[in-house]
Amino acid sequence: SSASISLTSGIDSTYDSYVFKFIDIHPATDNVRFQFNFSTDSGSNYNVTKTSTSFRAYHAENDSATELSYETGSDLAQGTGFQMLDLSSVGNGNDETFSGIMSVFNPSSTTFVKHFIATGEQNAANNYSHNGFVAGYANTTSAINAVQFKMTSGNIDDGIIKLYGVK
């Protein structure tokens, strides 16, 4: 149980891209969102400027609703705040978790911006199955060397975050 998970080592020029896997991320607080931000100063600050876009598909557990929608509320337009990875609130019931994958490309570049793409699946607080897609870029030519994950409120109660380097 942690308020935030910060990866402050292991993201360097060893690999061309990095992949994060999120396995059954479960919040302690009901009806919250799972989010991330980057750092260029080894985790002293998590405030990298990002531009992103998001869309999702969902289906109600009781088959009462389905939708494919663009999620303007989860987008950032040159914002320094945390980027949402789930596109609906996660509940804290035992059948409500978030799982997904995020790739970050060339985070050690000191020439280009850093692109990211993520997809995730969750059984949300509203008993809907949500499949979300988030993509964008960190608008910095400084090397990204740390990432922080947290819920919008409360702790991450349980779950696994794995980091892989890809050549």
pLDDT in tens, 136-158: 999 999 999 999 999 999 999 99
The total of other beta-carbon atoms located within 10 Å of residue 37's CB is: 21
Measure the CA–CA gap between 108 and 104, rounded to whole angstroms: 10
Half-sphere exposure of 161 (CA within 13 A, CB side): 22
pLDDT one-digit tens code per residue, 45-101 = 999 999 999 999 999 999 999 999 999 999 999 999 999 999 889 999 988 999 999
Identify the burial level of 46 via C-beta atoms within 10 angstroms of its C-beta, where 0-12 means exposed, 13-18 middle and 19 or more buried. Answer: buried
